[in-house]
Structure 1
Amino acid sequence: MDATAEKILEMQGYKLHVIQTDKYKTNTFVWKMKAPLTKEDVTKRALLPQVLQSSSAKYASTTALRSYLDELYGATLFVDLSKKGEYHVISFSLEIANEKFLSDSSPLLKKGFELLAEILTNPNVSGSAFDKETVEKEKRAQKQRIQSVFDDKMRYSNVRLLQEMCKDEPYALEVNGDTADVDAITPENLYEYFQTAFLEDEMDLYVIGDVNEEDVKKIASDLLQFENRTPKKIEREKVNKRSEVNEVKEEQDVKQGKLNIGYRTNIVYGDPDYFALQVFNGIFGGFSHSKLFINVREKASLAYYAASRLESHKGLMMVMSGIDLKNYDQAIGIINEQMEAMKKGDFTDQELEQTKAVIRNQILETIDTSRGLTEILYHNVVAHTDIKLDTWLTEMDKTTKEEIVAVANKIDLDTIYFLTGMEAGK
């Protein structure tokens, strides 16, 4: 069985993705729902999955819900939020043992489905409002999650870079929302948003494991039915190149400076040169053999860490580094030199082959877990395309030096953000 062969079925109000594989001893359900990022809804939307996974009509407390998970041979349930381009994605993941591997023939697949349906469609409400105590508890937790980003300066500086770089774009919004908007959420308006989301979001259910497609389809159609909808699609906007680089310095009481640099790659997932961009990023800053790591961290000893990563659906590349406050100009100089080297094709065949091998291993490691496999497959939903994993690996492998140079020359430096210490500004 091919662990990445996905059968996509149109259900009522959502798509069902069945991946039949005997690679895992568990069955995994991943429910994903996405909607455009908006200032009005982002905070409410971030709170919603936390409230839904906290309790339900049948399991009216977190303790009751968690003990039922224990009864299901230690099944695990968690929620996650992410930004994919200009979309806000909610994920519910439920992993449960496959009854084929148990002496007890309890119908766990069906029970897993029933629990997922309970959490998604039968919330803990009275009248037309969520349970007040649950909402208040989760609002406190949400404020802490938002605050934790400020406390983690590495994450904070990346958030600030994106806020400055994408100032008038939805992508500047933080995934957990804004502390200032949490208090205005009530059990009533959150329940109203819950109804809107399940009416309008693009919804996908992934079921991964040694399962029978017909069984999965039948249980899904019995338990999960929603209104059919035409999901909102965001058209890709052309962002004009800045006439000069946006440079932002922020002072806080920090000993180590955080230098974050944002580039517009002008390439997104689904574009023909996306695979060459992946290889470009690997040589430039994606791995421990990359130019940034070797030249900024190892040779010049300027940084405690130096790496780059891509945002595949927004067309961004971010460089993150931790440097001594006094090394700002020198670090930027060396990072710029590495970008120039890439634009001139100043990298060896060995660097190219090593990078391809590392990316291949990274992808194969990712699909070793059912949730990682889901993330890879979900790129296609976000980008409204259908790139098979084999195509991904083949196209990346075929990438030439010339194609990487062409990609490098499409990339524009946009914003430099530096979180520096108080004494540096004196």
Structure 2
Amino acid sequence: MEAISEEVLQINGYNLHLVQNQKFKTVNIVAKFKAPLSRDTITKRALLPYLLKQGPKNYPSRKELQIKLDNLYGAVLSIDGGKKGENHIISLRLEVANQKFIPNETGILEDAIALLNDVIFHPNSSNNAFQPQLFDREKNTLKQKINAIKDDKMSFANMRLIDEMCKDEAYSLHVHGYEEDLNSMTAENTFEYYQKLIREDDLDIYVLGDFDIEEMKQLISRNLERQSQEVSQDKEKTKSDTNSQGDKPLEIIEKQNIQQAKLHIGYRTNCTYADNEYPALQVFNGILGGFPSSKLFINVREKNSLAYYASSKLESHKGLLLVFSGIAPDDYEKAREIMELQMTAMKNGEITESELSEIKELIVNQLLETMDHPQGIIELLYQQVIANNELKPTELIHKIKQVKLEEVSQVATKIEQDTVYLLTTNGGKQDE
């Protein structure tokens, strides 16, 4: 397995990460803006990707922007927002053909970097405001997205679990924002917030591909610049608020007109990506519910036919373990009992060596598969920025391979059940 080479330097008001990789025929440039989650700004931040991808001043429509991308040998631009731990991240990704492999072509990379600079720093605006028609249209698009969550019952149940589990914690904020905020948002005040974000967010720019380091430094330096304060090399990571439920987990039961109930359980792992035990936690999650061969899938779904699906996932930077299942409404108590028994079995060390080695291999293969894609490599590298902790992807893989049974049991003892959330039918057992 080839180690990933990453050179990090501070230029033009941001951290530049140069990642040389000869495996790909494209160059990937990713800009990541990071700020602490805040109720006051979350809806504006959720809207900005919709506005920015409609085209900058020089290409002020989706069509003109697409023509420009097509002229760059079919370059692909995507922009989105998300949360990692108690940070909100806006990511702008540009994948462009590497001019090295195109005869008589020398200007693609410079053109592409200049375009990304336009998209980030010169949006379609006038008089210190986004274009009103564009703003109103994209505001409506975001409103539809917010409402769509209510129709996707699995996403809705997960959102409600986090609402209750992380009440009064920044992590409970909805990544798509809030419909009630949209009425007070204008083209002017959203543009004002965008300018603040451009100045004040932590900005990390990744360039990954087969290129000459010095030449790329020059290209980036010439074409991507922001006016901001000095970049801090030793920023403290965002403090994660934690309000555990204590000894007794919170139980929330809500009812809607649905046929399949959603039983979601939230645990505090008391361990994050920044901790030494994290590789063991990854293995723990894999054995519990990360794969089709895991305990939840086999015992809840296969052996007892109690769930349409049963799985678990980690929120690595917040220290949460989330367990998901879709069940028949009348099976709530039985399904919950069997799901909780799997956690007890893990805490008691009821794991075989063959389970351990199989899951470790699956996790390693999953990570290697992620590293087969340029964006996957960048996301893995960015985990270190979020955690403010150096754990390179190759080192993570090595540590996962070394995890022992007792380390999995040990990390299991720190895990505490926090909240049980059931979204169930209006009829049936829960009405009695």
Q: TM-score range by the shorter chain?
A: over 0.9
Matching residue's letter, 2:153: K
How many angstroms apart in 2 are the aligned matches of 1:104 and 1:328?
A: 66
2:124 maps to: 124
2:75 counterpart of 1:58: no
Tell me how far apart the structure 1 counterparts of residues 252 and 240 of structure 2 sit (CA, whole Å). Answer: 27
How big is the shift at 1:3? 6.4
Aligned to 2:352: 348
Q: Tell me the distance in 2 between the aligned counterparts of 1:16 and 1:201.
A: 14
Asked if 1:411 is matched to 2:423, the reply is: no
2:183 equivalent to 1:186: no
| Residue 302 (str. 1) matches residue 303 (str. 2) | no
Whether 1:38 aligns to 2:38 is yes
Q: How does 1:65-144 map to 2 (within 5 A)?
A: 65-144=65-144
Aligned to 2:209: 209
Aligned ranges 1:158-169 → 2 under 5 Å: 158-169=158-169
Match runs of 1:335-414 below 5 Å: 335-414=339-418
SS in structure 2 of the partner of residue 167 of structure 1: coil
Q: Which amino acid aligns with 1:273?
A: E
CA 1:290–1:163 in 2, change beyond 3 Å: closer, same or farther?
Answer: same
CA distance in 2, matches of 1:125, 1:267: 44
2:229 is matched by which residue type in structure 1? N
Percent identity, aligned pairs only, is 45
Mark the runs of 5 or more structure 2 residues left unpaired by the alignment. Answer: none
Counterpart AA for 1:166:
C
Q: Is the 8 A contact 2:76 2:96 kept in 1?
A: yes
TM-score by length of 2: 0.96
What is the CA deviation profile of residues 103-123 of structure 1, one whole-angstrom value per residue up to 9, with x for unaligned ones? 351421111101100101111
- The structure-2 alpha-carbon separation of the partners of 1:339 and 1:156, relative to structure 1 and needing over 3 Å to count, comes to same
Q: Distance in 2 between matches of 1:207 and 1:105?
A: 20
Which runs of at least 4 in structure 1 moved beyond 6 Å after TM superposition?
Answer: none
Could you tell me the TM-score, scaled by structure 1's length?
0.97
Contact 1:8/1:16, CA 8 A, preserved across alignment: yes
Match of 1:17 in 2: 17
Aligned partner of residue 423 in structure 1, secondary structure: coil
Q: Equivalences for 1:275-290 in 2 at 5 Å? A: 275-290=279-294
Report the secondary structure of 1:57's partner residue: coil
Can you list the C-alpha shifts for 1:356-392, whole angstroms capped at 9, x where unaligned? Answer: 0000000000011111111111000001111122211
1:265 is the counterpart of 2:282: no
Q: What is the DSSP-based 3-state SS (H/G/I as helix, E as strand, rest coil) of the residue aligned with 1:31?
A: strand
SS in 2 for 1:189: helix
Q: Deviations along 1:105-149, whole A, 9 cap, x unmatched?
A: 142111110110010111111111111111111101101111111
For residue 12 of structure 1, report the CA deviation from its aligned partner. 2.2
Query: Does structure 2 retain, via aligned residues, the 8 Å contact 1:251–1:421?
Result: yes
**Preserved contact between residue 51 and residue 135 of structure 1 (Cα < 8 Å):** yes
* Deviation of the 1:4 alpha carbon: 2.1
Q: Which moved more, 1:319-328 or 1:182-191?
A: 182-191
- What amino acid is the match of 2:385? V
Other-structure match for 2:246: 242
Inter-partner Cα distance in structure 2 for 1:104 and 1:186: 47
One-letter amino acid of the structure 2 residue matched with residue 301 of structure 1: S
Q: Structure 2 residue aligned with 1:255, among 255, 259, 263?
A: 259
1:273-314 Cα shifts (integer Å, max 9, x gaps): 001000000001110110000000100010000000000000
CA contact (8 A) 2:16 2:206 kept: yes
The alignment yields a C-alpha RMSD, in angstroms, of 1.4
After TM superposition, give the deviation of residue 238 of structure 1 in Å. 4.7
In structure 1, give the amino acid aligned to 2:100.
K
* Alpha-carbon separation, structure 1, partners of 2:426 and 2:107: 61
Q: Does 1:172 align with 2:172?
A: yes
CA shift digits 1:314-350 (9 cap, x unpaired): 0000001000001000000001110010011101100
Structure 2: distance between partners of 1:239 and 1:398:
33
Deviations 1:390-420 (A, max 9, x none): 2111111111111111111100000000110
Partner of 2:223: 223
1:48 corresponds to 2:48:
yes
Query: Which of 3-12 and 242-251 deviates more?
Result: 3-12
What displacement does 1:218 show?
Answer: 1.1
SS at match of 2:143: helix
Verify the 8 A CA contact 1:14 1:228 in the aligned structure 2.
Answer: no
Partner letter of residue 170 of structure 2?
P
Q: What SS is found at the alignment partner of 1:356?
A: helix
- Cα distance 1:17–1:228, how it changes in 2: closer, same or farther (>3 A)? same
**How many residues are aligned here?**
426
Aligned to 2:278: 274
Q: Shift of the alpha carbon at 1:246?
A: 0.5
Q: Give, in whole Å, the separation in 1 of the partners of 2:236 and 2:274.
A: 19
- In 2, the alpha carbon distance for the partners of 1:280 and 1:85 equals 20
Contact 1:3 1:19 in 2 (8 A): no
* Alpha-carbon distance in 2 for matches of 1:237, 1:124: 37
Unpaired runs of at least 5, structure 1: none
Instruction: Tell me which amino acid in the other structure corresponds to 2:36.
Output: P
